[in-house]
Every structure is written in structure tokens, then in C-alpha cells.
Amino acid sequence: MIEISHNLNYPLYHLEDVLFPLFEKYYTNDSLRVTIESANHIWCAYENDKCVGCVLITDIGSYGGLYVLLFGVRKSEQRRGIGTYLLENIIKWSRKHGYMFIYLHTAYDNEDAIRLYEKVGFQKEFHQSEYTKQLPQCESDVLPMMLFI
């Protein structure tokens, strides 16, 4: 059974073991640690005391938004619904705590991730100028996506 938790004192290696294999072409060990340390919110999915997925999120802007820094499920555990379950828990928590939106970006060619994000309500196209001024800027080779809560 998958258990989702939020902002516990997770061992650093649990997060690194999930995220580094997924993002090693973008991060060094040190830059991944800096990103982990910069997160305001960390959610982890555990199965039998093993971290199988995690999400790093930070608060952004004055409009009550959240930005997904990194999201990942171990390759060996993908396609089991863990990512959906994690995102659904984050969305529910965000609504309860009065957040207005969740923002993220992913590679244009990451079709599995795009399908997952759309499945839980993220949109590729969004036009909310009061929000977009405060969003982290991303490179032109990634797809920004937004979920309005």
C-alpha cells in the first residue's frame, strides 16, 4: 500500500535515490541538494518503507501559487498510479490551504508526464496575466503547465 506524507524529516538519500536517476542529465549531486533544500514543501510516496516517489514544491508570488521544482517516481515503479496519487494528494492539500494555482514545466517530448499532468487537471494553454508575471521563467524547450485550484 502506498502512503503519502508531507514535510516530514525525510532522509536526504531517500529523495536523491528517487530524483537523481530521473534528472541526472540536468543536475549534479550538489545542485540537486540545493534544489531539495530550496523546497518549501516535500511530499513523498512510500511503499514498505521504501521511497518510491517524491515532489519538491515552493511557494511563488503573491497570488497564492505553488511551483513544482521536481516531481518523480522511480522508473521501476512507474505506471502504477503512484504519480497520480501523489498529485491528487497535493491538489487536495493545496485547496484546503487556500492556494490558487500550481505551476510546473516539463519537456515537450515527455508525453507520459504531459498525459499525467493533464489527467489531474493541468492545462498547457493558460492566460492569467496577473499570475504569469510572477511565475518562474523557463527555457523555450520546456512546456509550462498550470492547474487552477
Q: Specify the DSSP element, H or E, that contains 83.
A: helix 82-96
- Per-residue pLDDT of 42-54, as tens digits, reads 999 999 999 999 9
Half-sphere exposure of 125 (CA within 13 A, CB side): 0
Which parts of the chain have pLDDT scores under 70?
126-140
List the domain boundaries for the chain.
3-148
pLDDT score of 62: 74
* CA dist list (Å): 100 to 36, 42, 62, 118, 146: 23, 18, 10, 17, 10
Q: How many residues does the chain have?
A: 149
User: Is the C-alpha dihedral spanning 79, 85, 91, 94 positive or negative?
Assistant: negative
pLDDT score of 140: 66
pLDDT score of 127: 65
Q: E strands along the chain, which residues?
A: 3-6, 41-47, 50-60, 65-73, 101-107, 142-148
pTM for this predicted structure? 0.91
pLDDT score of 135: 62
pLDDT score of 126: 67
pLDDT score of 123: 93
pLDDT score of 112: 93
Q: Which CATH architecture has domain 3-148?
A: 3-Layer(aba) Sandwich (3.40)
pLDDT score of 136: 60
pLDDT score of 14: 97
